[in-house]
A and B are shown apart, each in its own frame.
Chain A
Amino acid sequence: MEHGEYLQHLARQQWLIPFFPLMAAAIQSLMKRPSRKASGALTIIAMGLSCIFALRAFFATIGGGGQHHEIERAIFNFTWFKFGTTSLGLGFILDPLAEGMAVMVAFVGFWIFVNATGYMADDENFTRFFCFLSLFAASMLGLVVSNNLLLLYMCWELVGLCSYLLIGFWYFKPAAAAAMKKAFITTRIGDVGFLLGIVMLYWKTGTLNLYTHDTLHPGALEQVSALALRNGWWGLSAASTIAFLLFIGAMGKSAQFPLHVWLPDAMEGPTPVSALIHAATMVAAGVFMVGRMYPLFTAEAGSWVLDFVMWVGCITAVFSATIAVAQFDIKRVLAYSTCSQLGFMVMALGAGSVVAGQFHLLTHAFFKALLFLGSGCVIIGTHHEQDMRKMGGLRKYMPITFWCYLIGMLALCGVPPFAGFFSKDEILLSTFHRNKYAWGLATFAAFLTAFYMTRQMFMVFAGKWRGGENDHGHDKHGKHDDHEHGHHGGEPHEVTWNMWLPIAVLSLFAIGLGFFGHKYGEYLGVEGAESVEGKAVVMGASLAVVALGLLLGWAVYGRKTMEHATDEDPLSAALGSLFTFLNRKWYIDELYDVTIIRFTATCGMFFRLVDKSVVDGILHAIAWTAWGISQVFRWIGDEFFINGGFDAGCESVRWEGEEFSKLENGRIQNYFRVLSLGAAILLLIYFFT
């Protein structure tokens, strides 16, 4: 088969990639609760099949004929439904951007599932958990391979729904129930922008297909040059307006400032969910979507949208990194670190480099999944302890987890030759060319990253075991209530093979993946306009700040490790109230409480008052008038004439009523049965006469 035809053939089979997990979810939703082995095996096998199909498509896109000047892109569009002359289509796409992402999601997801079988081993709702996980994976894979904004939006919302279900998986914990609502509502705010963007795109182009390869009916992304000439809102061209609206959606999904608040709270979910949401899938969706719609962002030269994107990313990167410095929950540090890294990706997109953003997305997915699963191992190994102050010395107890975690941490900090170094360096370089101030801030964020990860390493793995000092059987989050672990409060232990194998595999990728950065740029088909100018400065600066961060972390936390869980954090002693300020996350939640939430509540109160006074007042006035009139008639007519005559009649009616009311036994289904019987009789009469 010729190569183009082969790609076309594969594009027709793209639907298979999300299909397997979807089927797995469907089957599991019908399974009985105790069938744990079947459920876990089904999920993992389905994900493995998806992974194989994704890899097949991935290798097909790599093995293109010769030079990659033209991006190889095969599509498969079909009509979903049609009324009158209007039709709505759906479609799948096969191109490097989608396949790189699909392989990552399927592969990382696969290992997360393996780890989850260990993490959730004691949970009684195992089947429900894996059902949701499969659905989550299916919707994310569907999002990645869709060639249509409608399909993309459906999957986007499905991802949101699944994250809602999974964050609140332990719904009986009030914190989890609050977190699930917060995540859903916060991303919903962004989704309003996204939906507006989609509607506007349909209005301006008349199609939601991204590519059609058809000059008569061009797809939306094939019309961007025309869109750039039309007027939109706020003095922007139509293309930039749509891009801006779509980016609002990405801000919600990818947890960019100021819509980042849901992501740290999402830590209430089980740890594999955190790994899935914060590494491979949900948060990646926003960045991926911006990458997918990137032609819209660049269509109009010199619009402020790209600068906006860059600054949002930059602010998020620095802002979340400062918060991560002062957290004590092992997962919360990682959550804010994820926020910060997403900021880096968005900043790269805003600085004009899709390759850097997407490449960091991929490498980050591997090492952040590694870190989250590692923290899951730590939590299991220490019997559901999440407070880093009560850990310590775990290196001795959990050697495998320690080494994998160390690799993940070095990759996140950007120490060469680990993966994070290359991708972060590319981001910093592209930002350097775009804007020196943003670059400076981002470099500062890189410094903070190195510092807080070093802090975490020393607190968790170095020193001596501080757990079990004073009986802390139930910490403030109530994490213990859900598991009967049997051996509470003992020494920490290494986890079982199905938990450490995934992190071992992922750590291989965290080491090796960085070397493919250049190849990935070629693969995405972006012409290498990379100037070497400034490269030495950027690389030198980032290496210097990373080294500085590691050193400072060692100086503060490594030289003298904490002795007791109740000791004050050395940084807290040095920073004083600033530390508290950071620990409370810049008081953003409190700020939202007194502004937006208070405002909404006040509006509600106000309208309730209006309802009570004005609307009810009018109603009452009418009612009183009617009552007054009727009083008059009552005295004139009723009492004299009617009462006497009718009393006798009423008596008999009352008797009949009593008899009939025995039929009204209040059972709805009886009424319904009689009704159906009557209808059936009528039908029979109709047929036989």
Chain B
Amino acid sequence: MNIPLGDYLMLSAFLFAIGLCGALSRKNAIIVLIGIEIMFNAAILNLIVFWHYKYFAVPTAYMFAIFAISIAAAESAVGLALVIAIYRQYKSVDVDEFTSLKG
């Protein structure tokens, strides 16, 4: 089970790219949220991997990751609530239609 650090970082970068693509290109607000979650998890994966390979004795990084996970959970809860609220207003989850903030 000796997977080099670089592989994990590649995986993480890959995940981040997938999430970014999803968040940038999809029209469905829920998919955009999912993309953001994937990016979140890529970042968390980085934290854990660096903790495991470089600072194994220090639990701070681990705790930090757990905090990040809980914050991500809270964030997605808020995000979904927003989507529902928006849906009630516009009867749609297509992000391109929410342009009432335009100048």
Chain A residues within CB distance 8 Å of chain B: 83-84, 657-658, 660-669, 672-673, 676
Contacts and interface: CB of A to CB of B under 8 A. Distances in A.
Given A661-B102, A663-B103, A667-B95, 5 more contacts: A661-B103, A665-B99, A665-B103, A666-B98, A669-B23
Contacts of B100: 666
B8 interface: no
B63 A668 contact: no
B7 interface: no
B24 A668 contact: no
Given A83-B63, A84-B59, A660 B103 contact: yes
| Central interface residue in A662, A664, A667, A673, by most chain B CB within 10 Å | A667
A459 to B, nearest CB: 46
* Interface size grouping (class) on chain B: 10 to 19
A673 B24 contact: yes
B24 A666 contact: no
Contact of A676 (B20, B96, B102): B20
Interface in B54-69: 59, 62-63, 66
A666 B59 contact: no
B1 interface: no
B38 interface: no
* The 8 nearest A-B residue pairs measured at CB: A661-B103, A666-B102, A666-B99, A664-B103, A84-B59, A666-B101, A83-B62, A83-B59
Nearest to B26: A669
Contacts of B24: 669, 672-673, 676
A657 B103 CA distance: 9
Nearest to B59: A84
A663 B59 CA distance: 45
Contacts of B49: none
B32 A664 contact: no
15 contacts: A658-B103, A661-B103, A662-B103, A664-B101, A665-B99, A665-B102, A666-B98, A666-B100, A667-B95, A667-B99, A668-B98, A669-B25, A669-B32, A669-B96, A676-B24
A554 to B, nearest CB: 56
Nearest to A661: B103
B62 A664 contact: no
Interface in B11-54: 20, 23-25, 32
Interface string B89-101: 0000001101111
B85 to A, nearest CB: 15
B27 to A, nearest CB: 8
Nearest to A673: B24
A660 B23 CA distance: 25
Contacts of A676: 20, 24
A672 B96 contact: no
Contacts of A660: 103
A669 B23 CA distance: 8
Contact of B95 (A83, A657, A661, A668): A668
A66 B22 CA distance: 63
Contacts of A83: 59, 62-63, 66
Contacts of B102: 661, 664-667
| Central interface residue in B95, B99, B103, by most chain A CB within 10 Å | B103
A667 B59 CA distance: 41
A143 B5 CA distance: 37
Given A83-B63, A663-B103, A664-B102, A669 B20 contact: no
A662 B99 CA distance: 12
Contacts of A662: 103
Nearest to A660: B103
Interface string B69-96: 0000000000000000000000000011
Contacts of B99: 665-667
A20 B56 CA distance: 36
Contacts of B32: 669
A627 B32 CA distance: 42
Contacts of A84: 59, 62
B101 A672 contact: no
Given A83-B63, A667-B95, A667-B96, A672 B23 contact: yes
Contacts of A661: 102-103
Nearest to A81: B62
